[in-house]
Amino acid sequence: MAKTVKSNLYEDLKRQILTMELDPDADLDEASLSERYGLSRTPVRDIFRRLAGEGYVDIRENRGARVIPMNHSTLRNFFLVAPMIYAAIGRLAVQNFKAAQLVDLKQTQERFRAASEKGGALDMVLENNRFHEIFGEMSANVYLQPSLGRLLIDHARIGHTFFRPRNEDMKRRLQLAVEHHDCFIEALAAHDEDAVVDLVFEHWELSRENMEMFIAPQGLKADVLIGGPAAKTLEKSP
């Protein structure tokens, strides 16, 4: 029973971090989590350490655990290395994937597609994250998988608005992302390494553009442009 409760806490914290229910740099209250889940402090600390090892949490000496932050440095490094790591993972996935993993990928894609049709933003975030996690598992590379896992955390957090489309263009782009996933599955099944790598860069460019919209949204109009006091002054001037 305790193991199940620990697993629930672990999965809940991962989900809340990926979906931004827990903000970057937010403190994790060990006491309240212990009370809420009916666990002693020791298993909660075990979960924190596990999440820290996977890149979700930062543990500071004498200051407790916090959600891993996002800052200028981490974002810059993310955009620098993401396409390189995604491409390497994709190439190795073609070389090493197992039939059961391809089945898992297909099932995850169906859940992602269903969530996109229903407009379930949180489910889309999680299923999209799982889709790309499976690529890491397919790669079977102990050096790249941890790097991919860390990238996917920030990829989900930066790009979560992509799954809440506000206009027709964003809806079209989301549909294109769904189609990319289908193409990934076809290319993997055909053992077409070059096609997978080409798709990686096409899919990354789509993601990058959406993440840039989140990081640097269109600015609000100044008062002078929307009828504020400054605009009225200008209207009265000769």
Asked if the structure places residue 232 within a domain, the reply is no
The reply to whether 92 and 43 lie within a common domain is no
The reply to whether 84 and 200 lie within a common domain is yes
Asked if the structure places residue 225 within a domain, the reply is no
Q: Which residues of the chain have pLDDT under 70?
A: 1-3, 214, 216-218, 222-238
The reply to whether 91 and 202 lie within a common domain is yes
Q: What is the pLDDT of residue 151?
A: 95
Q: What is the pLDDT of residue 27?
A: 96
Q: What is the pLDDT of residue 235?
A: 52
Q: What is the pLDDT of residue 150?
A: 95
Q: What is the pLDDT of residue 54?
A: 95
Q: What is the pLDDT of residue 39?
A: 93
Give the count of domains, the chain: 2
Residue whose C-alpha is closest to residue 147's, from 80, 81, 197: 81
Distance, CA of 20 to chain centre: 9
Give the C-alpha separation, 33 to 36, whole Å: 5
Angle at 56 between CA 180 and CA 106, to 5 degrees: 25
3-state secondary structure of 104: helix
Q: List the CATH number of the domain containing 10.
A: 1.10.10.10
Q: What is the pLDDT of residue 74?
A: 87
pLDDT digits (tens, 9 = 90+) for 211-236: 777 676 667 776 655 555 555 554 55
Q: What is the pLDDT of residue 138?
A: 98
Q: List the CATH number of the domain containing 116.
A: 1.20.120.530
Q: What is the pLDDT of residue 87?
A: 97
Give the C-alpha separation, 106 to 186, whole Å: 10
The reply to whether 63 and 79 lie within a common domain is no
Asked if the structure places residue 151 within a domain, the reply is yes
Residue whose C-alpha is closest to residue 147's, from 133, 128, 130, 126: 133
Residues of the domain holding 77: 72-215
